[in-house]
Structure 1
Amino acid sequence: MKTITTPKKDMYAQITEEIIAMLESGKKSNITWVRTGNGLPRNQKTGAAYQGVNVLLLWASAMTHGYSSDCWLTYKQAAEMGGQVRKGEKSVTCVFFKTLERESENEGGSTEKTDCIRVIKPFWLFNLDQIDGIDKPQTTTQLNEFQQIDAAENVLIHSGVVIREQGDKAFYRPSTDEIYLPERNRFASEIEFYSVALHELTHWTGAKHRLARDFASRFGTESYAFEELIAELGSAFLNAELGFAASMLPNHAGYIDSWLKVLKSDKRAIFTAANQASKAHRYIMDLVEGNQSEQKAA
């Protein structure tokens, strides 16, 4: 399946530039992927959570402007709900993909369908903080620290992953299909322990018998850095799902420089990374829910 954009505006390049700018700022201070702890950004009217690169774009905008809400609307949706976007407010450009079928003539002159083309299209969102006339949803009762830990522990247990708490490094070992973590009491906080565990759990999903992630042919020597970006995003998405207040991008110039190198050389890389992180996030949560259901039925 081919992917095309309109020649007037290269959405891949535009959005990649926005993410690059955010990562560049991360060299000076930590980036908070998740601001409020209320979950993934979602549409206020439909209740649907945004996915992939749109999550990053909305989080980046919330971080930059200090928005307190994780809910968003298009200008039209705001009007339909009786609201009004305040004059002078700027929207966030997000994207969706549409598949078109292209027809061509065969040798006999008849028309037949030959190809599917993936077209990237923009749409624009405003945060509820930018809109008058619409009440913000009541913040759901936040999980306290014990419940947050319990929710994360539940994911680790019901994913079925083998975790060894030993040594002084965190890593996923493909040869034994196991995750190794330092003992949890060696971390600065419980949330830091679980964020690292979820990062490694995202790596775990990339095994050949799971999601089979392998970008060596595409990114060469930078494929390791690219997989690290997927794992960082996957951990952030999972943290949001579990209600963690914050997931910090590592303030490590080596990581960020490697990611910037990949993104600057391939304008579609951030779309791939965010999409793969969303797949890993969904794979883990589906696995956890399925194993829980089997346990209850037993």
Structure 2
Amino acid sequence: MVTDRIIAMLEKGGSVFRERWTRAAARGVPRNGKTGAPYRGANVLLLWEAAIEAGYASNVWLTYRQAQRLGAQVRRGERGVLCAHFERGAREHLDDADDVLAEGGVDEEALMARSGARAGVLLCRPFWLFNLAQIDGLPLEVVDLGIAAPAASQGPVERAMRLLGGCNATIRHGFDQAAYLPALDEIRLPWPRQFTSAEAQCATALHELVHWTGHPERLHRSFGRRFGDAAYAFEELVAELGSAFLLGHCGLVDATVEGHAAYIDAWLKVLRADRTAIFTAARLAEEAFAYILAREMPALGGSGSIA
């Protein structure tokens, strides 16, 4: 069911889902209103899409039971967003199971330690989330979580350049199209003046930077054994999702990744053949996003000078 929903998003076309995911990402990663934990993997895509579709201003969510525990109530007729939680083996007992599921991305080893479950088959459990806008009677401190923080003082291009500069990737200009070459471990781009805007240049470079994180000396992504001839298309899906995280983080919500082929048909073929592929792609995209974000150059102070 989750894979079918992601496929439906992709079938809307690249310009549609890319803009929607990037705009949703600009609001931050969805998180739980009781635990504060961020959601992970494909759940992020599902919650982003739901928030944009319904026009929610908040990226904060609760389960029905969590809302009740806070003295609030989901309004009659509201529909929750189906999400997926993965765990290994059968659980004998787990305290606060609702909270664990609601977090949407608990570390497997920590979950196993708390539950006493034996390692075994990877199980998928569904759970449903409601946006703060669907709930009445919430405490003020929870409502405040859903109020967007003030926009960063740095512009989108500056934030993108701090990510690119912090990673210190080899970037060479003067080529017909953008690409990352794993054998040379370098990113190739057209000349800056060939892009339609500085925002488009940054968006394209960040897309290739996600590819750069997959090098064996970094995150070492390799899909040949699992996807065979479709491995290249799957890597492009990881880069598409990872760049959506990055563009949203920087505020490049209207930027276009230029000179980049559309792989939608290939992605759909992969997802229809492997019903768990989207969960892997989303997880790897998050890893790439976190890797790049951890290396972000600090912003310069508004006053003063560099000696």
Q: Same fold (TM over 0.5)?
A: yes
What is the CA-CA distance between 1:256 and the residue it aligns to? 0.9
Gaps of 5+ in 1: 1-13, 103-112, 291-298
Distance 1:202 1:88 in 2: 41
**1:35 matched residue in structure 2:** 23
| 1:278-293 equivalence runs, <5 A | 278-288=286-296
* Structure 1 residue 96 corresponds to structure 2 residue 72: no
| C-alpha distance 253-93 of structure 1, shift in aligned 2 (>3 A) | farther
| C-alpha distance 45-243 of structure 1, shift in aligned 2 (>3 A) | farther
Distance 1:246 1:88 in 2: 34
Deviant stretches of 4+, over 6 Å: 247-250
What is the CA-CA distance between 1:99 and the residue it aligns to? 2.3
| C-alpha distance 115-256 of structure 1, shift in aligned 2 (>3 A) | same
| 1:55-134 equivalence runs, <5 A | 55-100=44-89, 115-134=119-138
| C-alpha distance 235-58 of structure 1, shift in aligned 2 (>3 A) | same
Distance 1:253 1:174 in 2: 18
Distance 2:170 2:199 in 1: 20
Distance 1:197 1:155 in 2: 10
Higher RCO, Cα 8 Å, sep 6+:
1
Give TM-score scaled by structure 2 length: 0.77
Q: Conserved in 1, the CA contact under 8 Å of 2:172 and 2:187?
A: yes
Secondary structure class of the residue paired with 1:88: coil
Distance 2:247 2:60 in 1: 17
Distance 2:73 2:159 in 1: 38
What is the CA-CA distance between 1:242 and the residue it aligns to? 3.3
Give 1:173's aligned amino acid: L
**1:138 matched residue in structure 2:** 147
Q: Conserved in 2, the CA contact under 8 Å of 1:42 and 1:70?
A: yes
Give TM-score scaled by structure 1 length: 0.79
**1:205 matched residue in structure 2:** 213
Secondary structure class of the residue paired with 1:98: strand
* 1:43-85 Cα deviation digits (max 9, x unpaired): 2222222111111111121232222221111112222333321
* Structure 1 residue 25 corresponds to structure 2 residue 33: no
What is the CA-CA distance between 1:154 and the residue it aligns to? 0.9
One of 189, 199, 217 as aligned partner of 1:191: 199
Give 2:46's aligned amino acid: L
What is the CA-CA distance between 1:28 and the residue it aligns to? 8.2
One of 254, 257, 267 as aligned partner of 1:259: 267
Distance 2:293 2:17 in 1: 27
One of 154, 159, 181 as aligned partner of 1:173: 181
Q: Conserved in 2, the CA contact under 8 Å of 1:40 and 1:240?
A: no
* Aligned-pair Cα RMSD in Å: 2.9
* 1:112-141 Cα deviation digits (max 9, x unpaired): x98533221111111122122333533211
| Paired residue total | 267
What's the % identity of the aligned pairs? 47
Q: Conserved in 2, the CA contact under 8 Å of 1:33 and 1:247?
A: no
What is the CA-CA distance between 1:29 and the residue it aligns to? 4.1
| C-alpha distance 128-246 of structure 1, shift in aligned 2 (>3 A) | farther
Distance 1:244 1:171 in 2: 20
